[in-house]
């Protein structure tokens, strides 16, 4: 496995995302610029300019036409993927920590930061999937998180629920139609924030990662914790791989402690766990800072990670990755033949 | 001009060479491969025949039309107008990483680490038996009962054995304390001082601006100086006015003592004498 190193950013990466076709990677960092890359060879497709502050989040719609970003300049922006044209800017009272399109691309949610005078909210906009169309400024839904601020959020299957992770380690489920809180579950350790929430391909369950050094698979309908992956380092991101039953966890020493630790101690590795057996099966090193985000190719042929060191590393999996089976899996495959 | 008859031009010369070479031949084999035979002339003038067998396969991949279309969309932003293909300033290939998932990774990784370390250290170390010079440990030597270690003469050990009161015949370097230094004075504590005193000069009335290096320069004229100690005030960092200079050889020290006593250094006159034995 020879990773491709993308060095287009000057500061720490905050999020990387594949588009649903898997041919593009979008990366955002604290340097105000959004980059689009071809995933197969690492060629930079283009850059999106306009944000005035650090960027926290990016998402692309299912048709790879629209790109949403949010950042510390208190704006959420919509771009045309193919040209880099800015289509729409929504302004808020505080920074945007997370954006995500609904599975059909007609809704866009944004999570706003809590700040003096502003409570943390989850806002939803109706989106017209046509890049040429005018986009609405009117929020179709606004959920106020008064108990603990939301850090991450996403749409479940059929955009039925909004699942949000909170600063206090809890995960809550809202009705995506009326914004009503249905469940709130203390999934992670208290006062250790949920750092990431990514979906399985069918969006019936998601994986959350937390600073409490664990990642958990949570059912979208019942918020039941299905699987727990225990590591020895605070986690920043977790992803579920299609095709193979693995999860990839990324993290490492907190960014502020990095200079005092060596790369080995810092545990800046992507960790692979078996999704079912909850057991670590391998690690991929390479970054010399904590991993801020890991994203998996939608067809499961590779993954990329964005690190605090300012690099995106794109990996295409080897045969060994696809061939690996547990003994019981192999026996079952034999029996079925 | 000394031209060979018939060769009128360098261009013709070239032509003649290539004419001498047989044409390249391509033959199609039954199994679908091609054999290409080409001839060429090496720099040293020797003729080379190259035979290559090639199998041609067409790899077809079906991609999403949207993906195919996107490959031809012009680049934008900072990449605007840049040619097709990855740019070296933003994209590079990192070193190869071996990623091989294994069940029970944690345990295997720990074991492997230990094992690998041990093996590596063994690989580097050259094992040589002290008895027979074979490539095994001395303790595993087949001759260890019958032969003494290489270099040590057995006769010597015999002599020594009664004297040292049952010192191991293996020639161990350990000597019990009560047996040490027999025949001479017992080892003294602070042997370092004694060695120094033999060839150490005490220099007094040293200017407070003196540096150790100044002293070393002055005193090394008389012989090899092994140590210069200039007493300094801990707070001000200035010299306290005295120093010790040690020589490797006592005769050098004596010479220096004679010459340097009364020597003007800075604004003061040095006083040099042999250091007295410390009272302790």
Whether residue B266 is contained in a domain is answered as yes
For the cut 90, the answer to whether the pLDDT of residue A249 exceeds it is: yes
Whether residue B86 is contained in a domain is answered as no
Residue-wise pLDDT for A205-215, tens only, equals 999 999 999 99
Query: For chain A, percent helix, then strand, then coil, each to nearest 5?
Result: 10, 50, 45
For the cut 90, the answer to whether the pLDDT of residue B5 exceeds it is: no
CA dist., res. A128 & res. A105, Å (int): 8
A39 band by pLDDT with thresholds 50, 70 and 90: very high
Q: How far is B104 from chain A (nearest CA, A)?
A: 6
- Cβ within 8 Å, pair A23-B67: yes
Mean pLDDT of chain B: 74
Same domain, B263 and B198: yes
pLDDT of residue B172: 64
Same domain, B197 and B149: no
The ipTM, to two decimals, is 0.77
pLDDT of residue B157: 43
CA dist., res. A9 & res. B196, Å (int): 64
**B45-49, B67-71, B188-192, B223-227: which range is least confident on average?**
B188-192
pLDDT of residue B117: 61
pLDDT of residue A261: 61
Whether residue B176 is contained in a domain is answered as no
Residue-wise pLDDT for A122-131, tens only, equals 999 999 999 9
Dihedral (Cα; A78, A81, A83, A89), 10-degree rounding: 0
Residue-wise pLDDT for A81-114, tens only, equals 999 999 999 999 999 999 999 999 999 999 999 9
Q: How far is B140 from chain A (nearest CA, A)?
A: 39
For the cut 70, the answer to whether the pLDDT of residue A265 exceeds it is: no
CATH of the domain at B226: 3.30.70.330
**Structural domains counted in chain A:** 1
Count of C-beta atoms within a 10 Å radius of residue A283: 17
For the cut 50, the answer to whether the pLDDT of residue B188 exceeds it is: no
| Cα B47 → chain centroid | 47
Q: How far is B82 from chain A (nearest CA, A)?
A: 10
Task: Give B84's contacts in chain A (Cβ within 8 Å).
Answer: 43
pLDDT of residue B9: 63
Q: What are phi and psi of A232, to 5 degrees?
A: -115, 20
B251 band by pLDDT with thresholds 50, 70 and 90: confident
Same domain, B162 and B203: no
For the cut 50, the answer to whether the pLDDT of residue B190 exceeds it is: no
pLDDT of residue A37: 95
B123 band by pLDDT with thresholds 50, 70 and 90: low
Give the single-character DSSP code of B257.
Answer: H
For the cut 70, the answer to whether the pLDDT of residue B4 exceeds it is: no
Across B146-155, B156-165, B224-233, which has the greatest mean pLDDT? B224-233
pLDDT of residue B112: 55
* Six-digit token string for A196: 């990431």
Sign of CA dihedral A89, A55, A214, A241: positive
pLDDT of residue A161: 95
B3 band by pLDDT with thresholds 50, 70 and 90: very low
pLDDT of residue B25: 82
User: From the candidates B66, B71, B88, B90, which should be mutated to test the interface with A, based on the most A CB atoms within 10 A?
Assistant: B90
B99: contact with A, CB 8 A cutoff: yes
The domain containing residue A268 runs over which residues? 4-336
Q: How far is A275 from chain B (nearest CA, A)?
A: 12
- Cβ within 8 Å, pair B98-A313: no
| Cα A150 → chain centroid | 14
- Cβ within 8 Å, pair B77-A48: yes
For the cut 80, the answer to whether the pLDDT of residue B166 exceeds it is: no
A293 band by pLDDT with thresholds 50, 70 and 90: very high
A65 band by pLDDT with thresholds 50, 70 and 90: very high
For the cut 90, the answer to whether the pLDDT of residue A188 exceeds it is: yes
- Cβ within 8 Å, pair A284-B67: no
Mean pLDDT along residues B37-44: 82
**Structural domains counted in chain B:** 3
Which of B139, B170, B201 is the last residue before a domain boundary?
B170
B72: contact with A, CB 8 A cutoff: no
Which chain B residue's Cα is nearest to A19? Answer: B67
Which chain A residue's Cα is nearest to B66? Answer: A21
Which of B117, B136, B170 is the last residue before a domain boundary?
B170
Whether residue B72 is contained in a domain is answered as no
Q: How far is A4 from chain B (nearest CA, A)?
A: 5
**A153-167, A238-252, B68-82, B140-154: which range is least confident on average?**
B140-154
Mean pLDDT along residues B91-113: 80
Mean pLDDT along residues B189-215: 74
Same domain, B196 and B250: yes
Give B 103-142 residues with CB within 8 A of chain A: 103-106
For the cut 60, the answer to whether the pLDDT of residue B14 exceeds it is: no
CA dist., res. A36 & res. A65, Å (int): 12
Whether residue B105 is contained in a domain is answered as no
% chain B with pLDDT above 70: 68
Same domain, B146 and B218: no
Dihedral (Cα; A322, A326, A328, A333), 10-degree rounding: 10
CATH of the domain at A133: 2.130.10.10
User: From the candidates B69, B74, B76, which should be mutated to test the interface with A, based on the most A CB atoms within 10 A?
Assistant: B76
Mean pLDDT of chain A: 92
The domain containing residue B43 runs over which residues? 12-54
Task: Give A63's contacts in chain B (Cβ within 8 Å).
Answer: 66
CA dist., res. A216 & res. A292, Å (int): 17
- Residue A321 in 3-state DSSP? helix
């Amino acid at each position: 496995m020879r990773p491709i190193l993308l060095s287009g950013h000057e500061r720490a990466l905050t999020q990387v995302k594949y588009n649903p076709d898997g041919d593009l990677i979008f990366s955002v960092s604290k340097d105000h610029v959004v980059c689009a890359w071809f995933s197969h060879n690492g060629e930079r497709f283009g850059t999106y300019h306009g944000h005035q502050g650090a960027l926290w989040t990016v998402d692309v719609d299912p048709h790879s036409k629209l790109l949403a970003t949010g950042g510390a300049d208190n704006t959420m922006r919509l771009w045309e993927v193919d040209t880099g044209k800015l289509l729409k800017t929504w302004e808020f009272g505080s920074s945007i920590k997370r954006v995500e399109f609904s599975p059909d691309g007609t809704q866009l949610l944004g999570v706003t930061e809590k700040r003096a005078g502003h409570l943390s909210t989850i806002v939803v906009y109706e989106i017209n999937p046509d890049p040429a169309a005018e986009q609405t400024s009117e929020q179709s839904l606004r959920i106020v998180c008064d108990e603990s601020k939301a850090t991450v959020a996403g749409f479940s299957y059929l955009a039925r629920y909004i699942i949000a992770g909170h600063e206090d380690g809890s995960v809550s489920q809202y009705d995506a139609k009326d914004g009503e809180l249905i469940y709130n579950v203390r999934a992670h350790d208290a006062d250790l924030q949920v750092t990431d929430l990514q979906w399985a391909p069918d969006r019936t369950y998601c994986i959350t990662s937390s600073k409490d050094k664990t990642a958990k698979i949570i059912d979208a309908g019942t918020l039941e914790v299905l699987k727990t992956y225990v590591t020895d380092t605070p986690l920043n991101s977790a992803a579920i791989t299609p095709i193979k039953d693995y999860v990839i966890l990324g993290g490492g020493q907190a960014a502020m402690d990095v200079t005092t630790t060596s790369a080995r101690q810092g545990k800046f590795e992507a960790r692979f766990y078996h999704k079912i057996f909850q057991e670590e099966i391998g690690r991929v090193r390479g970054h010399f800072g904590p991993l801020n985000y890991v994203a998996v190719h939608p067809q499961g042929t590779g993954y990329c990670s964005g690190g605090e060191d300012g690099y995106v590393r794109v990996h295409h999996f080897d045969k060994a990755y696809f061939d690996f089976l547990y003994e019981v899996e192999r026996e079952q495959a034999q029996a079925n033949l | 001009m000394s031209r060979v008859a018939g060769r009128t031009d360098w261009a013709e010369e070239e032509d003649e060479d290539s004419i001498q070479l047989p044409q390249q031949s391509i033959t199609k084999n039954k199994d679908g491969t091609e054999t290409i035979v080409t001839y060429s002339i090496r720099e040293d003038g020797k003729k080379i025949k190259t035979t290559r067998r090639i199998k041609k396969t067409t790899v077809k991949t079906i991609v999403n039309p949207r993906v195919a279309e996107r490959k031809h969309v012009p680049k934008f932003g900072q990449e605007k107008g840049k040619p097709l293909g990855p740019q070296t300033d933003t994209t590079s290939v990192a070193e190869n990483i071996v990623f091989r998932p294994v069940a029970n990774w944690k345990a295997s990784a720990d074991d492997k680490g230990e094992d690998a370390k041990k093996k590596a250290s063994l690989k580097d170390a050259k094992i040589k038996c002290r008895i027979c010079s074979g490539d095994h440990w001395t303790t595993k030597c087949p001759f260890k009962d019958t032969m003494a270690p290489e270099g040590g003469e057995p006769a010597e050990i015999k002599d020594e054995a009664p004297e040292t009161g049952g010192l191991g015949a293996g020639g161990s370097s350990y000597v019990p304390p009560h047996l040490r230094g027999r025949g001479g004075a017992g080892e003294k504590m602070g042997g370092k001082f004694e060695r120094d005193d033999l060839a150490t000069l005490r220099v007094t009335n040293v200017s407070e601006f003196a540096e150790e290096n100044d002293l070393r320069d002055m005193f090394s004229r008389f012989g090899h100086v092994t140590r210069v100690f200039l007493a300094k005030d801990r707070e001000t960092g200035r010299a306290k006015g005295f120093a010790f200079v040690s020589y490797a050889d006592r005769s050098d020290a004596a010479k220096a003592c004679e010459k340097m006593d009364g020597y003007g250094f800075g604004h003061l006159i040095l006083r040099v004498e042999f250091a007295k034995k410390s009272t302790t």
